[in-house]
Structure 1
């Protein structure tokens, strides 16, 4: 009987693990390809021209840049890493990382559909994402100094001799493959942990804890972290909790999940300085929680 239950749990965990991987892989591949393109085709001079020098303006600019990029949280870390290596300030890079997976048209439209063709939840989600990213970006701008990356920060200057377009495309693919294997291990470990937690911690247990306004927001934030869903799909899961949780708790789920989940956290820890990751985690958690209490 026990062996049968364990076997069933293992198969369930395996199914969840594979489904998370299948859901995340296309966006990781898209992310590393974009990172490769940035590496080969975007110069430090281009970045210097478009990025405002004022930290506040840079954070605002980067926060709303996410509207132009349909990037999932699964693939945005390598993009931000390349942007920072090209000279984008870390506070602007993190602001883009937090809004990119939320305020892009694909995610907002899926949120609109998931909540019965109602724009209100999509608006609350976009507003929350913008507020959180701006606050986190400004906190980093004024509190964090030093190399934000684990590796030594250096300029990726290539040979002064002009490189043909064909060679640039080949090197773009080489960089993308290298980045994929670098990020892939964190994706696999994060997906496995998320699958284990989903299998062995019942959702009903979390629901029973979240009865008050504050506790329900915290429970939904914890659930978003555990489930580790892609931002293109999480609205459909969130909408299923409408009869169980308050609007504020559901907004917390929709804003917090794409910013912080298990696989994304592991990717950040494998890329950025630990102190920087701690500032991001703590500030995102506090601001999302307070924002959810406004409803």
Structure 2
């Protein structure tokens, strides 16, 4: 009874295009997502919390770039970086350095940069641009916090749900938590990317894409709304081929630092006063730095 209508619906070109975009994004992104979440759980559970206090320079201004660069060797998605940054602050690490790590780790770690290289095989400079821009944003925000931040804007975090577990159980608990949250946002992001390609008229996208200012702002805002995990966002950016490389670079720089899930997590971990100041400032700095790096590269 329903066979012919369903078959006709499935065979429509628009639905086939939607399915192709959705499946391609998921297939390419899931391995990086899983790998990143597992590494994040390892860092959260097995790396001693006192490690950073010993490894970072004592001078806060010097600790900021060191903590930012540490994202290269300590991979993790943004979901894991928020609680890790909270743990660092509780262990005495200067908030400026912890926040710089929070922004840098999800954006410049090897997993994310490798995923970006796979997603943009014909534009290797996108990997360089993403790494450079994200590192600069993290350091600028850390130094801005040193200059303008106040201790009473941060409510010190705690993860009591992991305190009484063995390391093995804590690892799996952290991994399950992050994979459920990050995986769900990945599915939504892939669906949104497919819908944009199918439902939004090409002339609308082209109108935005043809305007250098609007294209950057549009993709920056889209990154906030989609809330895609940083291990997967490069594949969504690659699918938005109507837009310039600079606009897509803004998408990749903003996304791991400011999105709806991060704002929510930062509010829960650090408090509303912190999130209300930190997220908008990070958004502005990320857009400006991405545009500057894009102007140099392209």
Aligned to 1:98: 103
Residue of 66, 69, 72 corresponding to 2:74: 69
Where does residue 256 of structure 1 map in the other structure?
A: 254
Structure number with the higher helix fraction is 2
Q: TM-score, normalised by structure 1?
A: 0.73
Deviates more, 1:268-277 or 1:172-181: 172-181
User: Is 2:275 aligned against 1:277?
Assistant: yes
Partner of 1:222: 221
Q: Could you report, residue by residue, the CA deviation over 1:179-217 in whole angstroms, capped at 9, with x for unpaired residues?
A: 568778966886798689779875556664454211111
Query: Does the C-alpha gap of structure 1 residues 270 and 197 become closer, same or farther in structure 2, counting only changes over 3 Å?
Result: farther
Find the aligned partners of 2:172 and 2:266 in 1 and give their Cα distance: 19
Equivalent in the alignment of 1:165 = none
**Cα–Cα, structure 1 residues 192 and 238, in superposed 2: closer, same or farther, change >3 Å?**
closer
Shift, 1:281, TM fit: 1.1
Cα drift, residue 148 of structure 1: 2.3
Q: How many residues align?
A: 270
Pick from 113, 116, 120 the counterpart of residue 111 of structure 1: 116
Question: Does structure 1 residue 51 correspond to structure 2 residue 56?
Answer: yes
1:147-166 matches, cutoff 5 A: 148-149=154-155, 151=157
> Cα RMSD over matched residues?
3.8
Q: 1-side partners of 2:116 and 2:158: how far apart?
A: 39
1-side partners of 2:52 and 2:232: how far apart? 32
Structure 1 residue 249 displacement after superposition: 0.7
Q: Which runs of 5+ in 1 are unaligned?
A: 159-169
Cα gap change, 1:149/1:173 in structure 2, threshold over 3 Å: closer, same or farther? farther
Change (3 A) 1:190 1:267: farther
Whole-angstrom CA distance in 2 between matches of 1:251 and 1:188: 23
Is the alpha carbon distance of 1:182 and 1:112 closer, same or farther for their aligned partners in structure 2, counting shifts above 3 Å?
closer
Change (3 A) 1:293 1:178: closer
Deviations 1:68-120 (A, max 9, x none): 02212232222222222222222111111111122122222222232225431
Q: For residues 72 and 196 of structure 1, what CA distance do their matches in structure 2 show?
A: 20
Q: 2:40 — aligned with what?
A: 31
Following the alignment from structure 2 to structure 1, what is the Cα–Cα distance between the partners of residues 250 and 195? Answer: 23
**Structure 2-normalised TM-score?**
0.72
The offset of 1:35, in angstroms, is 1.5
